[in-house]
């Protein structure tokens, strides 16, 4: 079962990322790495930040365990959905009114002229958030029913919408292109919402909302709501470390040379592929089951599922880290070096990618170990750990930004990933962790590396000769 859900999520994410790389290829070719690409990435950064902290990670990790525990699932579902949606719409309205202020917060180094260009784009892009919240909510219900395919594959729709906007506006002014891309973000959100609505309807889950609306005043679930919001508030902090780090990366990079934001973006896109393909796909696939096992006090089953997941993830992330680091320049050149994206852009982005990849294994494993904390309703503990990592990230910025420039930003994030993993394992339990890693699979893995690394070096030479 773990393999089935893992591959369903992985294939869906891979499909989306393939379209995403096509999108990035076109973006690099048409816009390059300049002020207009920086403006669009800044405008899209804010809804992405809120989406990953607020809608996707924190919400799902709090909602699913609370939903499983709830004795009045329909009323609980209806009330949580309506309260969140109204709040997010209100926030979107505030961002629209003060878009210049929010654009300035994201990119402190932008001058007033650039802020004026970025402000309306920030307002447009932010309306992706309420759409993706609805998608996330429906996705959580589908996960409870062990259905992952719709969510995994529908993420490609956003990238398809952006690809269409780029193709339709190719040759037009760069300002026109970034506006078209911003409206395409909204269109992609509607497409994702539509597919999830169909999936919910086909599985007869809409009755949860209708029943919840009918009974909303007759059943008191204040205690359940209080418990959920308490968990959610801590989960927001617990999910914030990599997202706030990315936010700080963008803000600091705006003070560096033109194109620095874009170098971070392109490198991070490559870095996020194995993280999403393996760590996120696996975590999403096993989270509902582990939550059920823990609630039913079936510790042995939950521990065995977690152990299997750990070794799958450890193997894949380690191989991805080594492979990506050795082939970083070749990967960037193949994916992005064409049109307005120059050789210098490729080299700089590759160096940034190498620094990001140092944190792939700790961030991926920390994602898995934090899953156990959330399933065990230890959101407060996860929040504390996240704050430790965030504070360490700021300290690493101070150490690395001057000697390494834009590469120092990525290196600081990776070092913070090791801090995050250390404290997460400590909270999970050192004894339980040792029980997992003291396994014959470790010796098999070392043997694989002896063959893997020379093979990669050989492949690198072949690619360089071809390029």
CB 360 within 8 A of CB 321: yes
Give the number of other Cβ atoms within 10 Å of residue 318's Cβ: 18
Q: What is the pLDDT of residue 188?
A: 92
Residue in the block written with tokens 């269409």: 164
Closest CA to 242 of 450, 81, 19, 393: 393
Determine the pLDDT at residue 142: 86
| Regions in the chain scoring below 70 on pLDDT | 1-7, 32-34, 46, 49-57, 106-109, 111, 212-220, 238-243, 339, 440-452, 455-467
Q: Which range marks the domain in which residue 238 is found?
A: 2-466
Q: Is residue 146 helix, strand or coil?
A: coil
Segments in 173-298 forming alpha helices (H): 174-202, 206-215, 222-238, 240-253, 260-274, 281-295
Residues 6+ apart with CB under 8 A from 5: 146, 148, 284, 285, 286
Structure confidence at residue 231 (pLDDT): 77
Question: What is residue 376's three-state secondary structure?
Answer: coil
What does the pLDDT read at residue 303?
A: 79
> What is the pLDDT at residue 295?
72
Q: What share of the chain is helix, strand, coil (3-state, %, to 5)?
A: 85, 0, 15
Question: In the prediction, which pLDDT does 149 show?
Answer: 79
- In this prediction, residue 96 carries a pLDDT of 85
What confidence score (pLDDT) does residue 444 get? Answer: 67
Residue 270 is encoded by which pair of tokens? Answer: 């490559």
Domain count, the chain: 1
User: For the whole model, what pTM was predicted?
Assistant: 0.70
pLDDT at 155: 81
């Amino acid at each position: 079962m773990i393999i089935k859900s893992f591959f369903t999520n992985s294939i869906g994410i891979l499909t989306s990322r393939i379209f995403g790389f096509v999108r990035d290829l076109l973006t690099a070719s048409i816009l390059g790495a300049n002020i207009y690409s920086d403006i669009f990435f800044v405008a899209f950064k804010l809804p992405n930040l809120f989406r990953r902290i607020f809608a996707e990670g924190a919400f799902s990790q709090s909602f699913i365990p609370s939903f499983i525990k709830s004795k009045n699932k329909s009323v609980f579902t209806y009330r949580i959905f309506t309260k969140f949606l109204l709040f997010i719409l209100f926030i979107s309205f505030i961002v629209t009114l003060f878009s210049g202020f929010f654009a300035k917060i994201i990119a402190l180094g932008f001058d007033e002229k650039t802020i004026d260009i970025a402000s309306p784009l920030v307002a447009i892009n932010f309306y992706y958030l309420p759409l993706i919240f609805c998608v996330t909510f429906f996705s959580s219900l589908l996960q409870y029913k062990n259905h992952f395919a719709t969510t995994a594959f529908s993420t490609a729709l956003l990238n398809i919408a952006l690809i269409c906007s780029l193709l339709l506006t190719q040759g037009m002014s760069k300002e026109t292109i970034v506006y078209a891309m911003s409206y395409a973000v909204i269109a992609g959100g509607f497409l994702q919402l539509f597919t999830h609505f169909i999936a919910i309807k086909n599985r007869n889950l809409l009755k949860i909302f209708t029943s919840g609306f009918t009974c909303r005043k007759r059943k008191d679930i204040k205690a359940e709501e209080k418990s959920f919001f308490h968990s959610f508030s801590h989960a927001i902090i617990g999910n914030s470390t990599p997202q706030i780090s990315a936010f700080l990366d963008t803000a600091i990079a705006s003070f560096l040379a033109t194109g620095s934001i874009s170098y971070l973006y392109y490198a991070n896109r490559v870095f996020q592929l194995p993280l999403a393909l393996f760590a996120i796909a696996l975590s999403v696939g096993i989270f509902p089951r582990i939550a059920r096992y823990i609630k039913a006090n079936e510790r042995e089953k939950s521990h065995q599922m977690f152990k299997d997941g750990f070794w799958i993830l450890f193997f894949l992330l380690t191989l991805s880290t080594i492979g990506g680091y050795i082939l970083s320049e070749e990967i960037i050149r193949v994916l992005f070096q064409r049109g307005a994206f120059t050789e210098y852009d490729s080299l700089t982005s590759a160096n940034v990618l190498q620094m990001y990849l140092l944190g792939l294994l700790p961030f991926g494993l920390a994602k898995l170990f934090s899953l156990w904390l959330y399933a065990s309703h230890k959101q407060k503990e996860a929040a504390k750990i996240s704050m430790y990592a965030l504070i360490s990230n700021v300290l690493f910025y101070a150490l690395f930004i001057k000697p390494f420039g834009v590469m120092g930003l990525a290196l600081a994030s990776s070092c913070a990933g090791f801090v995050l993993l250390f404290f997460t394992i400590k909270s999970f339990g050192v004894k339980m962790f040792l029980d997992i890693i003291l396994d014959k699979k470790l010796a098999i893995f070392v043997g694989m590396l002896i063959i893997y690394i020379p093979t990669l070096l050989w492949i690198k030479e072949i690619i360089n000769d071809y390029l």
